[in-house]
Amino acid sequence: MKLNSKIPEGPIEKKWSNHKFHMKLVNPANRRKYNIIVVGTGLAGSSAAATLAELGYNVHAFCYHESPRRAHSIAAQGGINAPKNYSNDGDSVYRLFYDTIKGGDYRAREANVYRLAEVSGSIIDQCVAQGVPFARDYAGYLDNRSFGGAQVARTFYARGQTGQQLLLGAYSALCRQIDAGTVKFYERREMLDLIVVDGQARGILARNLVTGKLESYAADAVVLATGGYGNVFYLSTNAKASNATAAWRAYKKGALFANPCYTQIHPTCIPVSGTHQSKLTLMSESLRNDGRIWVPKNKDDQRSPKDIPENERDYYLERLYPSFGNLVPRDVASRRAKEMCDNGYGVGATKMSVYLDFSDAIKRLGKEAIKQKYGNLFDMYKQITAEDPYEVPMRIYPAVHYTMGGLWVDYNLMSTIPGLFVLGEANFSDHGANRLGASALMQGLADGYFVIPYTMGDYLASNTFKKIDTEHSAFKDSESAVEKTIATLLENNGTKAVDEYHRELGKIMWDYVGMGRNKKGLQKALELIPQLREEFWKNVKVSGSAAEINTELEKAQRVADFFELGELLATDALHREESCGGHFREEYQTEEGEAKRNDKKFSYVAAWEFKGVDKKPTLNKEPLAFEEVHLAQRSYK
């Protein structure tokens, strides 16, 4: 398949404005004739649904929760980037663009990243207008803090609950449109298939999670804003319901899946405490502004951290990276923590954690100042571990957090299926091989508020749409296929629960496709995953029926897709014989243990094409051209 990224002509700073001028428009009076389905109502989906409705389109928004406010965007803590230069430290659109390209280890599309940086300032203004209570100083001005991978303070925040406040802002905009009747909201619906008619995305099949009924919905275009696939690892910082099913079913209908091996491991998470663990809790990266990361110099130091004198501590990030110190990008901080633990320097009962120590900051700024900044995070930590971080250092360990890979989209955020648009974490486009902190909220809202409203109009105005309804055979075929899968799962009289399989899959993924990957391990994963998948289909036990609320059935379908996705992730990781960002192949590292890219061979987007469950997917390549930023080995020293 020939991939056309549709990057506009012209110098990088003019591309988006030129493109906006050249795109076709839909006359305001005609917009109400178009129906648009938006699946997922987190930051990207809510902002897209609200904005498209404001423009006059008929929007149908689908959500598997009872309310958009439950989406996992709500859990983002730290902040959102925008190059407003309020801190007067030399920030600019170009610098944010540059930091993001570099932070992504030169594996993102320049034009997309520039546009992201360009529109990010408007996001802050928009959110302020909605009543988002961003942190302010005493004179009333917006406050900023710094984040990993940047040397300027450009992160806007609302205590440690920035994602919550931004989501509630987008949700309030959506509420307003629901009230106005321009958005029809469908709660507790899970998309189980994409409907493609004559090559165009024309609708979805969804299961009503309360009645269990399969419902068909037709439209002129479909927007997926369904998040990432971090839960393929079972233990991750994602919410329990976060899943890849909508994106995966679109992949199986012909949308290409790009760079699945780019997965981000977040360095500051609360370590695993036992086998019962159901998820991992992240604590904002902003903690690294004031917390210092260290391990004892002596491997078997049994003393309490407070009794270990300064000269017997190894502040390894400050030692290895004097200019960025504790604020190196996430992938670097995570890998170094793993290395310390693998080499026996870890702390805590399992020796699988490192200290994050606030005692210096408390001495310098006072307990009250630290409480103001991080109070909720400290409380959360104490609640989970029963240890007080004001008194003893936190113990942290990396955990799967964000997935940079996702459905392939062009500059207009359209997938390889015409009429199927993909926004937010569900697409692959802006973060390359590693996402910088405070950039996920930025991308989700940029896509929803400021990109899709334009590119959707261009698509609708440039194409013709055959009249179809849900009686069309494409809907009926899809319904019977999904019905059959559900029946198979329910009739299977197996012996193991869905969670048990999910946990086993997660263990394979973490052991062989996790933070450090190598050829042998990846090949092993590619043997083990299909074996376990086969066993799952023979031996899984799903109780209850299809015609009611059935949380086990919901999970079973999601896990079934994770088996297939996990295999693709490992396939992609095996093929990419280089290290870049979140993809670390142990065979490819510099003498100092940093990721070693191979730009000559791998400076491309790997977009995979589905060929059948037991068949090898086809690799399509979109070459990445770097015209603005000079390719270099990332250095944070």
Partner 1 sequence: MKLTLQIWRQKSKDEQGTFVTYNINDVSPDMSFLEMLDILNIELVKKGEEAVAFDHDCREGICGSCGVMINGRAHGPGRGIATCQLHMRSFHDGDTIIIEPWRATAFPVLKDLMVDRTSFERIMQAGGYVSAKTGGIPDGNTILIPKPIADEAFDAAACIGCGACVAACPNSSAMLFVSAKVSQLALLPQGKAEKSARVQNMVAVMDEEMFGSCSNTYACEAECPKQISVTHIARLNRELMASQV
Q: Compute the least distance from the CB of residue 339 to partner 1, in Å.
A: 27
If one asks whether residue 255 binds partner 1 (CB under 8 A), the answer comes out as no
7, 20, 33, 84: residue in contact with partner 1 (rule CB under 8 A): 84
If one asks whether residue 69 binds partner 1 (CB under 8 A), the answer comes out as yes
Q: Which of 31, 159, 288, 330 is catalytic?
A: 330
Report residue 370: phi and psi, to 5°.
-70, -40
If one asks whether residue 29 binds partner 1 (CB under 8 A), the answer comes out as no
Per DSSP, 56 falls in state T
Using CB under 8 A, count the residues that bind partner 1. Answer: 85
Q: Compute the least distance from the CB of residue 155 to partner 1, in Å.
A: 14
If one asks whether residue 524 binds partner 1 (CB under 8 A), the answer comes out as no
Pairing of strands 221-224, 420-422: parallel
Q: Compute the least distance from the CB of residue 93 to partner 1, in Å.
A: 15
**Cβ nearer to partner 1, comparing 124 with 333:** 124
Q: Helix (H, G, I), strand (E, B), or coil: what is residue 606?
A: strand
Residues 88 and 448: their CA atoms lie apart, in Å, by 29
Residues 555 and 184: their CA atoms lie apart, in Å, by 26
Residues 469 and 203: their CA atoms lie apart, in Å, by 9
Q: Compute the least distance from the CB of residue 126 to partner 1, in Å.
A: 5
If one asks whether residue 138 binds partner 1 (CB under 8 A), the answer comes out as yes
Closest CA relative to residue 422, chosen from 167, 243, 246: 246
3, 23, 75, 365: residue in contact with partner 1 (rule CB under 8 A): 75
If one asks whether residue 273 binds partner 1 (CB under 8 A), the answer comes out as yes
- Would you list the DSSP string of 495-544? SEEHHHHHHHHHHHHHHHHSSSB-HHHHHHHHHHHHHHHHHHHHHEE--S
Residues 338 and 362: their CA atoms lie apart, in Å, by 27
Half-sphere exposure of 242 (CA within 13 A, CB side): 29
**Cβ nearer to partner 1, comparing 5 with 286:** 286
Residues 275 and 29: their CA atoms lie apart, in Å, by 58
Closest CA relative to residue 8, chosen from 455, 498, 465: 455
4, 67, 323, 463: residue in contact with partner 1 (rule CB under 8 A): 67
Residue span binding partner 1 (CB under 8 A) among the ranges 108-116, 131-139, 306-314, 333-341: 131-139
Q: Helix (H, G, I), strand (E, B), or coil: what is residue 390?
A: coil
Q: Compute the least distance from the CB of residue 482 to partner 1, in Å.
A: 21
If one asks whether residue 276 binds partner 1 (CB under 8 A), the answer comes out as yes
If one asks whether residue 560 binds partner 1 (CB under 8 A), the answer comes out as no
If one asks whether residue 351 binds partner 1 (CB under 8 A), the answer comes out as no
If one asks whether residue 158 binds partner 1 (CB under 8 A), the answer comes out as yes
If one asks whether residue 89 binds partner 1 (CB under 8 A), the answer comes out as no
If one asks whether residue 623 binds partner 1 (CB under 8 A), the answer comes out as no
Which parts of 210-229 interact with partner 1 (CB under 8 A)?
210
- What does the block give as tokens for 188? 């507790």
549, 625, 631, 632: residue in contact with partner 1 (rule CB under 8 A): 549
If one asks whether residue 527 binds partner 1 (CB under 8 A), the answer comes out as no
**Cβ nearer to partner 1, comparing 29 with 349:** 349
If one asks whether residue 344 binds partner 1 (CB under 8 A), the answer comes out as no
**Cβ nearer to partner 1, comparing 550 with 571:** 550
Binding mask 163-202 for partner 1 (x = CB under 8 A): -xx--x--xxx-xx-xx-----x-x---------------
If one asks whether residue 20 binds partner 1 (CB under 8 A), the answer comes out as no
Largest CA distance in the chain: 75
For 491, other C-beta atoms within 10 Å of its C-beta total 8
**Cβ nearer to partner 1, comparing 46 with 112:** 46
- Would you list the DSSP string of 157-184? -STT-HHHHHHHHHHHHHHHHHHHTSEE
Sign of the C-alpha dihedral computed for residues 330, 335, 338 and 344 taken in this order: negative
Q: Compute the least distance from the CB of residue 617 to partner 1, in Å.
A: 31
Which parts of 450-479 interact with partner 1 (CB under 8 A)?
450, 453
Q: Which residues of 576-603 are buried (b: 16+ CB within 10 A; e: fewer)?
A: bebbbbbbbbeebeeeeebbbbebeebb
Q: Compute the least distance from the CB of residue 522 to partner 1, in Å.
A: 30
Report residue 7: phi and psi, to 5°.
-70, 125
Report residue 169: phi and psi, to 5°.
-65, -50
**Cβ nearer to partner 1, comparing 42 with 432:** 42
If one asks whether residue 124 binds partner 1 (CB under 8 A), the answer comes out as yes
Residue span binding partner 1 (CB under 8 A) among the ranges 96-104, 238-246, 249-257, 479-487: 238-246
Binding mask 32-51 for partner 1 (x = CB under 8 A): ---------------x--xx
Amino acid, res. 433: A
If one asks whether residue 66 binds partner 1 (CB under 8 A), the answer comes out as yes
Binding mask 373-412 for partner 1 (x = CB under 8 A): ------xx--xx-x--------------------------
- Burial of 627 (C-beta count, 10 Å sphere; 0-12/13-18/19+): exposed
Residue 421 sits at the vertex; the CA angle it makes with 420 and 424, to the nearest 5 degrees, is 145
Q: Helix (H, G, I), strand (E, B), or coil: what is residue 310?
A: helix
Amino acid, res. 458: D
Residues 632 and 103: their CA atoms lie apart, in Å, by 11
Q: Compute the least distance from the CB of residue 166 to partner 1, in Å.
A: 11
Residues 225 and 570: their CA atoms lie apart, in Å, by 24
28, 140, 309, 623: residue in contact with partner 1 (rule CB under 8 A): 140
- 330 catalytic? Reply is yes
What residues are labeled active site? 330
